[in-house]
Structure 1
Amino acid sequence: MNKIASFSIILLALTSILGCNNNADVKVATNQSNVSQNNVSQSKNGNSIPQKVKDNEAVGRNSFDSSIYYASENNPTIKNSDNQIVWKEGNVVLTAAISKAEGEQVSQSNTVISSITVESSNGKYIIDLDKKPLGIQSVGLSKNNQLAVHVRDHEGSRLILLSLSSGKQIVLNDLPNKEAFSEKIDSYNWSPDGNTIAFGIGDIGSSYIALYNTEDKTFSNLSEKDFTLITSVVWHKDGQGFDFLSQTDDTKNPVILYQYTLKDNSISKVTDNLTENEQATLTTKFLPVKIE
C-alpha cells in the first residue's frame, strides 16, 4: 500500500507540473496574439494612429537637398481665356468652363467654374461638385491614371481625385472615414508610383499632414501636430517618404522643413534655416504646375 501511495503522489506531482507548463504556453500565445491584433488595430478604419513629431533632426540630414526629390517627367500645357481653362498633359485634357457668378457667389467673385470636363483615351468624364468653385489652383496627374484637381472656394479649397480608368471621383475634404469636413487642402503631391497622394488638410488657420491610398481607399492622418500652413509636399525619388514645408506663426522659425518616412511612420525636422531660393525650388520645380 505504501508503494502504491508513493506512486500516486509522484503521479499527481508530475501531472501538476505538466499542467502548469501547458498553461504558461497558452498565456504566451495569447499575449503574442494580442500584440498582432494591436498592430493591426493601428490602421483601423483606414486611419493610422497619429505619430508625434520628433524634436531631433532627421537621421543623416540637417540641410536642404533637392537631389533626393521626385519630379514628374511630363510638363502640362495650360491655356487661359475669359471663358475657359484648358489643361493638357499627354492625352489627358481638362476643360473648365468659366461663367458669371450667380446668387450668393456674386459677392464672392465675378466668375465661377461652371463645369469641369476631363477627356482621355479611356473616355470623357464630368467632375460633379455640389458647389461651384471660384477657380482652379492646379491639376496633378499620377502614373496610375489618377487625376487630382485642386479647386478654390470663397474660404478654403477642395481636392478632387478622379480615376481615369473607372470615372469614380472623391473629394478628399469629405471622406467617409474622416470625422468631419475639412475647409481646405494645402499643398499636395503624388508618390512616384502614383498610388498614394500626400497633402496638407485642415480648417482655415490649421493644417495637418495626411496620406490617401487610391488602391485600398485608406485615409491616414500622420500626426496630431498642427503645422499651420503646409505650402509644399515633395516625395523622395525612392517613394519611401517625403518632405513638407510648414509656415508657422513663430517669428523666429517662420518656415520649417520636415521629413516623413514610411518605414517607421515617423516625422522629423530637417531644418528651419531655408533660404528664399530653396523655398522657391520646392514650390516651383517639384509641385503640380499652378494654374492661378
Structure 2
Amino acid sequence: MKKLICALLISLLVVAGCQSNEVVKETTPSSEKNIVNKEREPEADDTMILYKFDNQNFTVTHKSNSLVIEGKDYSIIVEETKEKSGLEKGKYQSIIVEREGSTVTSKLKFTEEPDKINSLSFSDTNNYLAFTGFYSHLGNQLYIIDLNNGGTIDLLEKLTGLGYKRIETIHTYNWGPNKDVISFAFGDPSLSNLAIYDLNSNEITVIPTKSHFINTLSIMWHKKGDFIDYVVEENSDQFKLYRYDLKKSNFELIKEVSRDEFLRKYKQYTPDDLS
C-alpha cells in the first residue's frame, strides 16, 4: 500500500513539473513591434458604486510607419509622416477609423501634425471617438470624430470662438453616461478650466469655479449622469475632489485627496494611455 501511495505522489509531481515548464510562444511579424494589450479592469473599491467606468479593451501595435489600434469591433490606423532625415522622427499625419458593420470610414488629416497620439475613448453611445494629439510646442489637443458621418470636431477651435485665446493644452476628459456629452479640462500648465460639451446641442458650458486650479487629473461621471467629480490640483501636489451638480449648476468641495488615494482610486478613470 505504501509503495502504491509513493508511486502516485511521484506521478503527480512529474505532471506538475511538466505543467509549470509549459511555454506559450507568440509569433510577431517583422514589421510590427511593441504590441501592447490594454485590458482595463476596475479596482474593487467604493468608487465603483458611484462612477461610470469605461472598460474599453484594445491592442496597440507599433508598426514601421503607423500605429494600429484594434478593439472588439473597430480598427484605428494612425499614419505616420515619412521621416525627413535619418535623425528626425516622423509625426502622425492622419487617423482612420473603421468599424465592423458600418459603411462609414472616418478619416482625419491633421492640419498640424501631432508628435504623438496619447489617448482615446469612445462615447457611451458609440457615436463618437475622442482622442488627444500631443504637440511638443503646445501640449495635448482634443479631437472628436463623428463615426456616423466621418466629420471631425476640433475643440480648440470651438473654445477660441468662445473667446479663449491662450489655450495650450487639454488636461483630461471623460464621456458622460448614455449621452453624447463629454467633460474636459483645458488651459495651460498653470491654469485648468472645467467644461462640458454637449454634442447634440453643440454647446460648451464652462463651469464657474471660485478656486484657481493648476491642473485637473481625473474626471468621474456618476452613473446616472447627475453629478461630475473632478480631482484637481490647487497648489503643487495638493489635490482636492470637487463635485458639480448638473441640475443645480452647483460646484462644491468634497474632500482633500492624497497622491496615494488618487493613484489607488481615481487614476483608473483617466482616458486609456496608448504608450
TM-score class normalised by the smaller sequence: 0.7 to 0.9
Distance 1:137 1:250 in 2: 24
* 1:99 partnered with 2:78: no
The TM-score with structure 1 as length reference comes to 0.69
Matched with 2:143 is: 160
Larger radius of gyration: 1
* 1:139 partnered with 2:120: yes
Matched with 2:98 is: 119
Distance 2:249 2:83 in 1: 44
Letter aligned with residue 266 of structure 2: L
Aligned in 2, Cα 1:137/1:256: closer, same or farther, shift over 3 Å? same
The partner residue of 1:260 within 220, 244, 264 is 244
Aligned in 2, Cα 1:206/1:173: closer, same or farther, shift over 3 Å? same
Distance 1:119 1:205 in 2: 38
SS of residue in 1 equivalent to 2:257: coil
Matched with 2:194 is: 209
Matched with 1:33 is: none
The TM-score with structure 2 as length reference comes to 0.73
Q: Offset at 1:236?
A: 0.8
SS of residue in 1 equivalent to 2:133: strand
Gaps of 5+ in 2: 1-45
SS of residue in 2 equivalent to 1:216: coil
Q: Offset at 1:205?
A: 2.1
Letter aligned with residue 106 of structure 2: Y
Q: Offset at 1:110?
A: 2.5
* 1:245 partnered with 2:224: no
Q: Offset at 1:100?
A: 4.7
Aligned in 2, Cα 1:278/1:202: closer, same or farther, shift over 3 Å? closer
Matched with 2:52 is: 70
Distance 1:282 1:222 in 2: 21
Q: Offset at 1:249?
A: 2.4
* 1:221 partnered with 2:202: no
What per-residue deviation string (whole Å, max 9, x for no partner) do you get for residues 40-87 of structure 1?
Answer: xxxxxxxxxxxxxxxxxxxxxxxx844201112442222223422122
What per-residue deviation string (whole Å, max 9, x for no partner) do you get for residues 201-251 of structure 1?
Answer: 113321100000010100110125432111111111111111111123256
Letter aligned with residue 132 of structure 2: H
The partner residue of 2:257 within 251, 264, 273 is 273
What is the Cα-based RMSD across aligned positions, in Å? Answer: 2.4
Distance 2:95 2:61 in 1: 15
Aligned in 2, Cα 1:122/1:245: closer, same or farther, shift over 3 Å? farther
User: Would the aligned equivalents of 2:212 and 2:234 in 1 still touch at CA under 8 Å?
Assistant: no
Gaps of 5+ in 1: 1-63
User: Would the aligned equivalents of 1:122 and 1:164 in 2 still touch at CA under 8 Å?
Assistant: no
Q: Which has the higher strand share?
A: 2
Aligned in 2, Cα 1:98/1:249: closer, same or farther, shift over 3 Å? same
Q: Identity of counterpart residues, as a percentage?
A: 22
Q: Which has the higher helix share?
A: 1
Distance 2:224 2:274 in 1: 28
Matched with 1:185 is: 170
Q: Which has the higher contact order (CA 8 A, sep 6+)?
A: 1
